[in-house]
Structure 1
Amino acid sequence: MSLKSGSSLLRARTVAVVAGLGVSAALGAGVAAAATPGQAVTAVPSTVAESVKVQAAAQAAQAKAATEAKAAAAAKAKAAAKAKAVTAKPVAAQKSTGWVKPLSSYALSASYAQAGGMWASKHSGQDFAVPTGTPVKSVSAGTVVKAGPNGGGDGPAYGNAVVIKHAGGKYSQYAHLSKVNVSVGQKVNAGQVVALSGNTGNSSGPHLHFEIRTTPNYGSAINPAVFLKGVGVSF
């Protein structure tokens, strides 16, 4: 073998040794190794363990944040649905009753079945003390069956009066009116103004005399406060 060939072989061995040392050093930085049988295994360097801990903590934090964001979104959606339901509820309840008060503001005076010298027998309705000209409203949808002076046909004691037929075989009567705004046969809605209060007929002062009847005629009145309370309206 020539001197030139020997030099080349020596350089090749040197490169191999150096490369081997590099590989050994690289492996030693990341994993435990045993040099020879029976030799103690070297521990994982602390820098690697700390890196694993940091990564695990970051992943746990991300998972917690995602869970909290999902819970917050669910709570927000639930609150929005609840608010919508609460807002809609009163409207639905108002439409379901179909009955209203005959006046917006008033003071209660003579009540149903009250005794006294003002009436031939006990009082047949509920009186509301209001100024003359106060708007009087139909308590429910229906058809006007009586309207005009002489109690609409029930007698002069009622003065100007209106009687309206409602579903379910009930009638409402409004008396002592100063003005009648409807005519017989006319259809009306709940809350529609049908007259103005007054002091006509057998009256001791401006007020509305109000009755609920089982027929359109005098003598069939029932307690209006009890009836209206049963359909969701209280005086």
Structure 2
Amino acid sequence: MSKRVSFQHSRRPSLSRVRGAVVAAGLGTSMVLGAGAAFAAGTTGAPDLNLADLTGATAAESVAEQAAVQGKVAAEKAAVAKKAAKKAAAAKKAALKKAHGWSTPVDRYELSASFGNDGSRWAHKHSGQDFAVPVGTEVEAAHGGTVVKAGPNGGGDGPAYGNAVVIRHANGTYSQYAHLSKIEVRVGEAVKTGERIALSGNTGNSSGPHLHFEIRHSADYGSAVNPVGFLHKKGVRV
């Protein structure tokens, strides 16, 4: 009798411990799951971690980067195209000069005073063709030849011309370039058609920046002919 009672008493504490462990485990699981749910809920609700916002920002950055790359590529292509067009224009110009042997002394210009015009600026009728261009425009030899005059005082033709250059050509014709701001050739130097010889200016008897251009039968003043008509006969459009 005493042994049975002792046995029954010894089983009760074991059952209690098992039940306690199960309850504790259940509570622990609930607490862990609850904390995870709360953390998840808090994370989802935080405005700075919103998935839609992050996705939108990433997409905007991607679009901006693509636009920047495309803009850079377009700029590079435009630069290449501009360089190619400039090269093609130079080649065309060189081909025309080679074909005709003569060219205009400046590339871009407006015609102003023409040959034979009357005016208070000239003692006699205008002896050349004026090309209105900004100061510093490149002046090129209209034809190949040898420089026979170069300097101030019209290269010897008088102060009205300012800084001037005169070139003798193989056919016995001379070309003159006046009112220059800078002379880049010297007497005795051989030049080719289209070669840069000076920069345009406003020196001498000049009412504004331009290049005064003459075609002569001699190196000196007084033997000029109509330069536009002369160039037209050479196949050069002015």
Superposition RMSD on alpha carbons, in Å?
A: 1.7
How high is the sequence identity, in percent, across the aligned residues?
65
Q: Which of 139, 163, 166 does residue 169 from structure 2 map onto?
A: 166
Please give the alpha-carbon distance, in whole angstroms, between the structure 2 residues aligned to 1:227 and 1:95: 17
1:135 aligns with 2:138: yes
Selected match of 1:208 from 197, 204, 211: 211
Q: Deviations over 1:187-233 (max 9, x none)?
A: 00000010000000000011000000000000000000010100111
Shift of 1:92: 7.1
Matches within 5 A, 1:214-229: 214-229=217-232
1:97/1:118 CA distance change after superposition, 3 Å:
same
In structure 2, the CA distance between the partners of 1:144 and 1:111, relative to structure 1 (3 Å rule), is same
How many angstroms apart in 1 are the aligned matches of 2:98 and 2:196? 18
Q: Deviations over 1:42-89 (max 9, x none)?
A: xxxxxxxxxxxxxxxxxxxxxxxxxxxxxxxxxxxxxxxxxxxxxxxx
Structure 2, unmatched stretches of 5+, are 1-92
Secondary structure of 1:229's counterpart equals helix
Q: Which residue is equivalent to 1:105? A: 108
- Give deviations 1:138-176, integer Å, cap 9, x for gaps: 001000000000000000000000000012110000000
Number of residues paired by the alignment? 147
CA contact (8 A) 2:97 2:193 kept: no
Out of 179, 183, 188, the residue aligned to residue 185 of structure 1 is 188
Cα distance in 1, alignment partners of residues 221 and 94 from structure 2? 36
Deviation at 1:97, TM superposition (A): 1.5
Which contiguous aligned blocks of 4+ residues in structure 1 show a shift greater than 2 angstroms?
A: 90-96
Give the Cα–Cα distance (whole angstroms) in 2 for the partners of residues 217 and 132 of structure 1: 25
**Counterpart residue type for residue 113 of structure 1:** G
- State TM-score, norm by structure 1: 0.60
CA shift, 1:234, in A, is 1.7
Structure 1, gaps ≥5 residues long: 1-89
TM score, norm. by length of structure 2: 0.60
